[in-house]
Amino acid sequence: MPNNIGRRTWAIAEGYIPPDSPTKSREMLSHETVCILNAGDSAARVEITVYFANREPVGPYTFDVGARRTRHLRFNEFKDPAPIPTNTDFSSVIASNVPIVVQHTRLDSRQAELALLSTIAFPLD
Amino acid sequence: MPNNIGRRTWAIAEGYIPPDSPTKSREMLSHETVCILNAGDSAARVEITVYFANREPVGPYTFDVGARRTRHLRFNEFKDPAPIPTNTDFSSVIASNVPIVVQHTRLDSRQAELALLSTIAFPLD
Amino acid sequence: MPNNIGRRTWAIAEGYIPPDSPTKSREMLSHETVCILNAGDSAARVEITVYFANREPVGPYTFDVGARRTRHLRFNEFKDPAPIPTNTDFSSVIASNVPIVVQHTRLDSRQAELALLSTIAFPLD
Amino acid sequence: MPNNIGRRTWAIAEGYIPPDSPTKSREMLSHETVCILNAGDSAARVEITVYFANREPVGPYTFDVGARRTRHLRFNEFKDPAPIPTNTDFSSVIASNVPIVVQHTRLDSRQAELALLSTIAFPLD
């Protein structure tokens, strides 16, 4: 099994947090997720910058992903330096100090029946 | 954070605007979207050409994406040089003068409950 | 606008035609689609081979995609050399004599409310 | 038709098995799938390692994919060395001794109406 899996920088051009009822369970609440795999033997320090249509980018949002661990981070739970507004178009760039793999997933439960989307992020280097 | 993120030319082989009720809110109306991230420090001039099954391509549709900005453009709102018909198969090529990142998303709300799809576009150069 | 967009060989590991009512309209009937963009100035001759879990591959299914045209081909409409069974796992390889771009989309309307998926295919060469 | 299609190592950063009723048919039960195409003329030996948020990886799960065959493997049916829990974030790395193509698909039928997602996996080498 190779140890050094992935790239250090990724981008996700799509980003959108559906406005939804906060009374739903965390499992079923609408969420916009960046899934990060760190298959290597060193912990990853991940910095995420969020881009908007009409104002300067916000970030970095900083996360640790341990060696041989995955984290599925929800943009709608980001807090520091600032929450990301719902019903607003955004994009993100994910930068890590070690190679990682990044995938983008949304669960949209605004309506009675949920909808899903997912894609590999764009690997930069 | 690298400044020069993405590629100058992208393609999306899938394209389809579901026929839908124009009385819906913009948020919930069926839409076919090209999400563009310009993470660089120069404004992007983006030209989109749309390909069809049975006639010559239409375009370019021209858009500006500011430095460090994202735009999520809806094909169903394209007007110049011509609107794109609904319920018609198409493809698109996205060309920029600076590197960008491109993702394709559809929200289909023809029925009572919406459906979603998304994918990274194909990076050409 | 570059003329020579894409690759000559692509693969789609996922393939599945949901069993559905043939009385539905073509628009809403479940379908498994390979979307092909030929942005170049030469017509493309495309050969698709379909792989199964428990028997030899079937094909090639042959299609022409004109210069500067797109075709969104539905696997559930393939006929020659043989129809593809529904409710059966398959994969496909798409080979062209000129560069093309390939995307995979499914509309699943087995239930009352449709579901969608899409991804860029895997570009080989 | 080229014989040597794909890569030997792939990664899927997203992974999640929706908790669902085991009384549903296999066709409609929620499933998280890794679709593997072996278009080559040699059988593939595939080893899948599964990564979690808070504990060491589990695996390898070992599968054979015959020459010129596809297998659509469901993570929710993995048994040896251990079942994968539902409602738990995970990632996976897929390693093969011959080139393969890998795609990730989920069918989520927790609610009355199913939802779908799919993406090409990340090709490593």
Query: Does residue A66 have a pLDDT over 70?
Result: yes
pLDDT at C4: 82
pLDDT at D125: 76
Query: Does residue B107 have a pLDDT over 90?
Result: yes
Which of D2, D28, D68 faces C51 most closely, judged by CB atoms? D68
Q: Which of A8, C50, A101, B103 is nearest to D123 (CA)?
A: A101
Q: Taking CA atoms, what residue in C is nearest to D34?
A: C14
pLDDT at A2: 64
| Inter-chain touch C119–D118, beta carbons under 8 Å | yes
Kindly state the average pLDDT of the residues D65-79: 98
Gap between the terminal Cα atoms of chain C: 21
Q: Taking CA atoms, what residue in B is nearest to A121?
A: B120
**Residue A47 Cα distances to A9, A97, A105, D55, angstroms:** 10, 9, 18, 23
Please report where in the chains the tokens 């210069």 appear, as a residue: C67
Query: Does residue C90 have a pLDDT over 70?
Result: yes
Kindly state the average pLDDT of the residues D23-43: 96
| Inter-chain touch B117–C120, beta carbons under 8 Å | no
Residues 6+ apart with CB under 8 A from A76: A17, A29, A30, A31, A32, A84, A86
Residue/partner pairs of D61-64 with CB below 8 Å, 24 or more apart: D63/D36
| Inter-chain touch D115–B115, beta carbons under 8 Å | yes
Kindly state the average pLDDT of the residues C42-64: 98
Shortest Cα distance from C5 to chain B (angstroms)? 7
Q: Which of D82, D59, D67, D76 is nearest to D15 (CA)?
A: D76
Average pLDDT of the residues of chain B: 96
Query: Does residue A92 have a pLDDT over 80?
Result: yes
Which chains contact D through at least 3 pairs of Cβ atoms less than 8 Å apart? A, B, C
**Quick one: DSSP state of residue B83?**
P
Gap between the Cα atoms of B46 and B39, Å rounded? 14
pLDDT at C1: 60
pLDDT at B2: 64
Kindly state the average pLDDT of the residues C107-116: 95
| Inter-chain touch A115–C119, beta carbons under 8 Å | no
Average pLDDT of the residues of chain A: 96
Gap between the Cα atoms of D49 and D93, Å rounded? 5
Q: Which two tokens stand for residue C123?
A: 């570009």
**Quick one: DSSP state of residue C26?**
T
Gap between the Cα atoms of A106 and A103, Å rounded? 10
pLDDT at B108: 96
Gap between the Cα atoms of A34 and A12, Å rounded? 9
CATH number for region D7-107? 2.60.290.11
pLDDT digits (tens, 9 = 90+) for B39-93: 999 999 999 999 999 999 999 999 999 999 999 999 999 999 999 999 999 999 9
Q: Which of B63, B17, B69 is nearest to B41 (CA)?
A: B69
pLDDT at D4: 82
pLDDT digits (tens, 9 = 90+) for B23-44: 999 999 999 999 999 999 999 9
Which of A1, A102, A117 faces D49 most closely, judged by CB atoms? A1
Q: Taking CA atoms, what residue in A is nearest to B72?
A: A89
pLDDT at D1: 60
Give residue A65's pLDDT band: very low, low, confident or very high (50, 70, 90): very high
pLDDT at B4: 82
Gap between the Cα atoms of C11 and C103, Å rounded? 10
Q: Which of B17, B14, B12, B35 is nearest to B110 (CA)?
A: B17
pLDDT digits (tens, 9 = 90+) for A100-114: 999 999 999 999 999
- ipTM value, please give it: 0.95
Is residue C122 within a helix (H) or strand (E), and if so which, with residue range?
strand C122-123
Contact residues, chain D, for A1 at CB < 8 Å: 47, 49, 60, 93, 95
Give residue C53's pLDDT band: very low, low, confident or very high (50, 70, 90): very high
pLDDT at D2: 64
| Inter-chain touch D119–B119, beta carbons under 8 Å | yes
Query: Does residue D75 have a pLDDT over 80?
Result: yes
Stretch among A70-74, D3-7, D52-56 having the lowest mean pLDDT: D3-7
Give residue D88's pLDDT band: very low, low, confident or very high (50, 70, 90): very high
Gap between the Cα atoms of A82 and B77, Å rounded? 31
Average pLDDT of the residues of chain C: 96
Looking at chain D, which runs of residues are DSSP E strands? 7-12, 31-38, 44-52, 58-65, 69-74, 90-108, 115-120, 122-123
Give residue A4's pLDDT band: very low, low, confident or very high (50, 70, 90): confident
Is residue D83 classed as helix, strand or coil in its secondary structure? coil
Q: Which CATH superfamily is domain B7-123 in?
A: TM1070-like (2.60.290.11)
Q: Which two tokens stand for residue A34?
A: 């960046």
Q: Which of C98, C46, C41, C99 is nearest to C72 (CA)?
A: C46
Could you tell me which residues of chain B have a Cβ less than 8 Å from any Cβ in chain D? 113, 115, 119
Residue/partner pairs of C20-23 with CB below 8 Å, 24 or more apart: C20/C86, C20/C109, C20/C110
Query: Does residue C29 have a pLDDT over 80?
Result: yes
pLDDT digits (tens, 9 = 90+) for B3-16: 689 999 999 999 99
| Inter-chain touch D112–A113, beta carbons under 8 Å | yes
Q: Which of A102, A115, A56 is nearest to A82 (CA)?
A: A56
pTM (predicted TM-score): 0.96
- Backbone phi, psi, residue A113, to 5°: -110, 130
Residue type, C110: R
Gap between the Cα atoms of B38 and B8, Å rounded? 11
Tell the burial category of D70 from Cβ atoms under 10 Å away from its Cβ (0-12, 13-18, 19+): buried
Q: Which two tokens stand for residue A90?
A: 């955004």
Kindly state the average pLDDT of the residues C107-123: 96
Tell the burial category of B24 from Cβ atoms under 10 Å away from its Cβ (0-12, 13-18, 19+): exposed
Gap between the Cα atoms of A61 and A32, Å rounded? 15
pLDDT at C125: 76
